[in-house]
Amino acid sequence: MRRLLSPFVLTLTLILAVGYAYVAFRLADGLLARLALALPFVAVWAVPVLYWVLGRDKHGRADDLLHAASYLSMGWLTYLLLFTLLRDLALLGTHWAGVVVTADWVQGSRAAVLWGAALTLGIGVLAAMRGPHVRRIDVTIEQLPPEFEGLTIAQISDLHVGPTIGRRYVQWVVEISNRLNPDLVVLTGDIVDGSVPRLQRHVAPLAQLRAKEGRFLALGNHDYYSGAAAWVAQFQQLGLDVLRNEHRLIRRGAATLLLGGVVDPAARMDRPPQMPDAQRAAGNGVDAQLRILLAHNPKLAPQGEAAGFDLQLSGHTHAGQFFPWTLAVKLVHAPHVVGLSRSGRMWVYVNPGTGSWGPPVRLGTRPELTLLRLVQRP
């Protein structure tokens, strides 16, 4: 009972209750219509409360269906609330302009809002399920050793294998990466949303990833929520080198690349607790002519720059994933929201997500597998 009275649950309940009261008052006539409209709000409420707060650990077919329904409801309600607000602004505008609005128009606009939200959701789902496109980026590194000129890195991030992304999608991503024939493959966190027993079969294709110089992974916050210790062991069985405040050295001739990786701030919930430490990942004085950091959260860029890294590869933001969150994310993560940016002398590249979290929806962004090429001159 105490968990149900936690600030998180109370805040979530209040937000959903206010949202429901608004759209029910503006769109629904009659008890049955209002009860039907309550169902998606209940679905959105149920998953975080049952699984995150109360710790339900069963993951059968019914659980997967509930998660999918909750995530789709989350997407639909986003557009339902947005379109209802736009409709009310239009009605307010007509009132100020002295335009008489007929009852038929009011009723028709209600239907337009409901079906418009559903259509927008459908378009976004189709865009997300098209799979990742390959974005090719040249990164200019000053004083890049000639031995690493043209080094290619395939970056996969934020797959979120779970209720809406499964084995088929993961296999698709692996095949795209392998066709690129990269020197390195890096996975920059939030690979899973669920336990090892539930998702082991779905992540298995990651073992097929090919790269000349190795396959490396830094954990994201959702990997910690899903049980980091078990997942580290599973990722290692798949042949992925998990970097947790540590580094690996890659040598070509007389030149050395230091590839570091830090834990996510969510590692504070691990046992024992950890915090990201870019200085430790940098090797504390290890001689290297090129330094690249894997850090799921781009907000760790100041740490990476202070530790002497030349390039940080991140994810986490999803670039907002779908409008209008594409606008909101800029308030939280600017200047490192998506794509290539600078933190002092260090480059930061933020992958917008190879998969999707929550609603399998993309509007205003695209799932991406990034192929970065290091060059000394543009």
CA-wise closest residue to 368 among 293, 314, 300:
314
Question: Which pLDDT value is given to residue 323?
Answer: 92
CA-wise closest residue to 351 among 324, 311, 323:
311
Distance CA 13, CA 5 (A): 10
Q: Does domain 133-375 have CATH number 3.60.21.10?
A: yes
Domain locations along the chain: 3-129, 133-375
CB 105 within 8 A of CB 198: no
Distance CA 33, CA 11 (A): 26
- Element spanning 232, H or E: helix 228-237
Question: Which pLDDT value is given to residue 105?
Answer: 84
Would you give the DSSP letter of residue 161? B
Distance CA 371, CA 355 (A): 16
Name 251's bridge partners. Answer: 256
Cis peptide before 145 (omega within 30 of 0): no
CB 128 within 8 A of CB 361: yes
Per-residue pLDDT of the chain (378 residues; tens, 9 = 90+): 666 777 888 899 999 999 999 999 999 888 898 999 999 999 999 988 888 777 776 667 788 889 889 999 999 999 999 999 999 999 999 879 887 778 888 889 999 999 999 999 999 999 999 999 999 999 999 999 999 999 999 999 999 999 899 999 999 999 999 999 999 999 999 999 988 998 999 999 999 999 999 999 999 999 999 999 999 999 999 999 999 999 999 999 999 999 999 999 999 988 888 999 999 999 987 899 999 999 999 999 999 999 999 999 999 999 999 999 999 999 989 899 999 999 999 999 999 999 999 999 999 999 999 999 999 976
> Would you call 123 helix, strand, or coil by DSSP?
helix
Distance CA 285, CA 265 (A): 24
